[in-house]
Chains A and B, each alone.
Chain A
Amino acid sequence: MLILALETATERVSAALVSDAEVRAAWHAETAGDLCRRFAPHIAELLERGDADFGEIDLIAVGLGPGSFTSLRIGLATAKAIAHSRDVPLVGISSLAAMAWQVRRRFSGLLCPVLDARRGDLYAAGYQVADGAMHQLQSEVAAKPQALAAALRQHGYPITFFGEMAPDQARALEDLCPKDWKVVRDTVRPDAPCIAELGRLRFESDGGDDLASLRPIYVRMSYAEERFDIDLGLR
């Protein structure tokens, strides 16, 4: 099965061509507001390097965030266009889940990937790995460290926080941690090969997502909806 995976939740964007769990070609880059310009040519080049044609792709897996709204939409619009025009199934994967999958053998207990959500918040979720399968115990949220720790505490497992956070956010989490929790300071960011792997598992279990209605995991309403207290149901 040939999978094209795209991941654009953070400034480190990536793409991978994965064939039967083997990465045939991968690309990643730091972007600074030029993702729309650079993304498509790199994907075309990735396929060339992987010696594959767009017509040979069996599945497209795309990271849904949470993260930068605009970057997520660039990734998702690209994924939808390739999937639609090549009549290939599309599956959207939480970028936080991909981060947890990446470290599932390194850490134990409740895995809590976090990304900086600005405004003092962290995007976070909670996962547990048992018998090689990963289960989501905490859905994606944008929360202050204190509220996040309180929400996760109720699951009753020791927690490992990891991901990409500002130093003061890491300190705030450390101050909240009981002895058996930990905060990993090394940066972990979502990566396309993990999106591909989780995409394959999801596709095998439920056949993937509806292409048209698939949307990023925004978590937050738009600022205007918050201000006017109108929920348009676009989350």
Chain B
Amino acid sequence: MLTLGIETSCDETAAAVVRGPGEAGVELLSSVVASQDDLHAHFGGIVPEVASRRHIEMIMPVVGEALQRAQAEWDDLSAIAVTVGPGLIGSLVVGVAAAKGLAIARGLPLVGVHHLEGHIYSAAIDSTLTFPSVVLIASGGHSHLVLMREHGEYEVLGRTLDDAPGEAFDKGARLLGLPYPGGPALAELADSSAGRVDPLPRARLPGSLDFSFSGVKTALARLVKEQELDAEGRARAAAAYQESIALSLAERAIEAAEESGYLPIVAVGGVACNRRLRALLAAKAEEAGLPVIFPDTKLCTDNGAMVAAAGAHKFGHAGADSLDLDCAANLQLRSWPRAEQD
């Protein structure tokens, strides 16, 4: 069974084809991502109308390329999966309208995928999810800790109270005068700093598994304002900032895994590409005796493969969605309805 996945929730136009799921998860046959960083760099951030205008021009070339690279014909497909939110509404509707157009024209089942479950299922590509487990989703727009007991069963244990970690990275980068997109630039600057750095003061939220990144942002703003930072100083400030964010994410993930019964940890989302977070989380998990799984970094940032993977699993467990499927800028992560058993 082949599934086409389409993702247009933010500023990447993406499509992919996967086979399965089988015993080794879904097999990735193709994944095409058209980034818009060049456009939004002019404005220092994502402009929704600009993103939508690029999506409508990229959507069919990207879908066509995904099919071609997978050497798949329309008749080979079994389902079409598409991100239905959360995200920029003008961007979402381009992907959803295209997916529906394909579904009616080819008579294919349509499966709506929540963007966060897309990220979760990036760990089910050429690999399998084990249950129960705790998933850390850390990305540009989200930070969630989710307990999964079974495919499509989500219990949100904690979330950010203010910025998402990727957003925090971007804002920190702006404070340090780094070009857009700031997250990777900040990480690169941080990695250039020699020696150990202490993290900046961080928010403590005792008795909860929530996150907060506004305090560390304020600390960095104060540091940049009060001190004339030379090149090494800026690198050390970036490293301290990155350390704070990575520590918050890693410590909370370990706490959540321990509190839920010493469960394995799966770390997904664009920020899960961050080398420092990977190293810290791996070290702390080893200390605690917990397994930790990271998907390939290429699958962590927004892509169509994760949507196809989530859609393929969801189709098997919960069946197709109706053609009047809606999309929404704000959308809660919900467990799948179970298909009726015979």
A: which residues have CB within 8 A of B? 34, 36-41, 43-44, 54, 69-70, 73-82, 84-86, 211-213, 215-216, 218, 222-225, 228, 230, 232, 234
Contact residues, B26-58 vs A (CB, 8 A): 39, 42-43, 47, 49-50, 52-57
Contact of B100 among A69, A70, A81 (CB under 8 A): A81
Set of chain A residues within 8 Å of B53, measured between Cβ atoms: 215, 218, 222, 234
The reply to whether A81 and B323 form a contact with Cβ atoms under 8 Å apart is no
The reply to whether A216 and B50 form a contact with Cβ atoms under 8 Å apart is no
Instruction: Sort A-B residue pairs by CB-CB distance and give the 8 closest, nearest first.
Output: A81-B101, A40-B100, A222-B49, A77-B97, A224-B47, A78-B101, A234-B53, A82-B105
The reply to whether A36 and B106 form a contact with Cβ atoms under 8 Å apart is no
Q: Is residue B99 within 8 Å, beta carbon to beta carbon, of the partner chain? A: yes
Q: When chains A and B are docked, how far (Å) is the Cα of A75 from the Cα of B43?
A: 28
Q: When chains A and B are docked, how far (Å) is the Cα of A80 from the Cα of B39?
A: 23
A-B contact pairs, 5 of them (CB 8 A): A44-B104, A81-B59, A81-B63, A81-B102, A225-B47
Given known A69-B49, A74-B93, A85-B106, contact A79–B43 (CB-CB < 8 A): no
Q: Is residue B308 within 8 Å, beta carbon to beta carbon, of the partner chain? A: no
Set of chain B residues within 8 Å of A228, measured between Cβ atoms: 42-43
Smallest CB gap from A73: residue in B: B56
Smallest CB gap from B99: residue in A: A81
Set of chain B residues within 8 Å of A54, measured between Cβ atoms: 104-107
Q: How far is the CB of B111 from chain A (nearest CB, A)?
A: 14
Q: When chains A and B are docked, how far (Å) is the Cα of A36 from the Cα of B8?
A: 14
Q: When chains A and B are docked, how far (Å) is the Cα of A39 from the Cα of B105?
A: 13
The reply to whether A69 and B52 form a contact with Cβ atoms under 8 Å apart is yes
The reply to whether A216 and B103 form a contact with Cβ atoms under 8 Å apart is no
Given known A37-B326, A215-B53, contact A77–B94 (CB-CB < 8 A): yes
Contact of A212 among B57, B103, B324 (CB under 8 A): B57
Q: When chains A and B are docked, how far (Å) is the Cα of A157 from the Cα of B324?
A: 47
The reply to whether B42 and A230 form a contact with Cβ atoms under 8 Å apart is yes
The reply to whether A36 and B63 form a contact with Cβ atoms under 8 Å apart is no
Q: Is residue B61 within 8 Å, beta carbon to beta carbon, of the partner chain? A: yes
Set of chain B residues within 8 Å of A232, measured between Cβ atoms: 39, 42, 50
Q: Is residue B141 within 8 Å, beta carbon to beta carbon, of the partner chain? A: no
Set of chain A residues within 8 Å of B61, measured between Cβ atoms: 212
Q: How far is the CB of B73 from chain A (nearest CB, A)?
A: 10
The reply to whether A224 and B59 form a contact with Cβ atoms under 8 Å apart is no
Q: When chains A and B are docked, how far (Å) is the Cα of A85 from the Cα of B95?
A: 15
Set of chain B residues within 8 Å of A39, measured between Cβ atoms: 97, 100
Contact of A41 among B42, B43, B95, B323 (CB under 8 A): B323
Set of chain A residues within 8 Å of B100, measured between Cβ atoms: 39-40, 78, 81
Q: When chains A and B are docked, how far (Å) is the Cα of A213 from the Cα of B96?
A: 19
Given known A85-B106, A222-B50, contact A73–B90 (CB-CB < 8 A): yes
Q: How far is the CB of A209 from chain B (nearest CB, A)?
A: 12
Set of chain B residues within 8 Å of A224, measured between Cβ atoms: 43, 47, 49-50
Set of chain A residues within 8 Å of B63, measured between Cβ atoms: 81, 84
Q: Is residue B327 within 8 Å, beta carbon to beta carbon, of the partner chain? A: yes
Smallest CB gap from B61: residue in A: A212
Given known A77-B59, A213-B57, A222-B53, contact A40–B101 (CB-CB < 8 A): yes
The reply to whether A43 and B104 form a contact with Cβ atoms under 8 Å apart is yes
Q: How far is the CB of B182 from chain A (nearest CB, A)?
A: 18
Contact residues, B296-312 vs A (CB, 8 A): none
The reply to whether B325 and A37 form a contact with Cβ atoms under 8 Å apart is yes
Q: Is residue B336 within 8 Å, beta carbon to beta carbon, of the partner chain? A: no
Q: How far is the CB of A170 from chain B (nearest CB, A)?
A: 29
The reply to whether A80 and B98 form a contact with Cβ atoms under 8 Å apart is yes
Q: Is residue B60 within 8 Å, beta carbon to beta carbon, of the partner chain? A: yes
Smallest CB gap from B106: residue in A: A85
Q: When chains A and B are docked, how far (Å) is the Cα of A82 from the Cα of B54?
A: 19
The reply to whether A36 and B96 form a contact with Cβ atoms under 8 Å apart is yes
Q: Is residue B179 within 8 Å, beta carbon to beta carbon, of the partner chain? A: no
Smallest CB gap from A80: residue in B: B60
The reply to whether B104 and A215 form a contact with Cβ atoms under 8 Å apart is no
Q: How far is the CB of A42 from chain B (nearest CB, A)?
A: 9
Q: When chains A and B are docked, how far (Å) is the Cα of A81 from the Cα of B62?
A: 12
Contact of B97 among A36, A86, A216 (CB under 8 A): A36
Interface centre among B61, B74, B90, B98 (most CB of A within 10 A): B98
Contact of B98 among A37, A81, A230 (CB under 8 A): A81
Set of chain A residues within 8 Å of B97, measured between Cβ atoms: 36, 39-40, 73-75, 77-78, 81
Q: How far is the CB of B68 from chain A (nearest CB, A)?
A: 12
Set of chain A residues within 8 Å of B93, measured between Cβ atoms: 36, 70, 73-74, 77
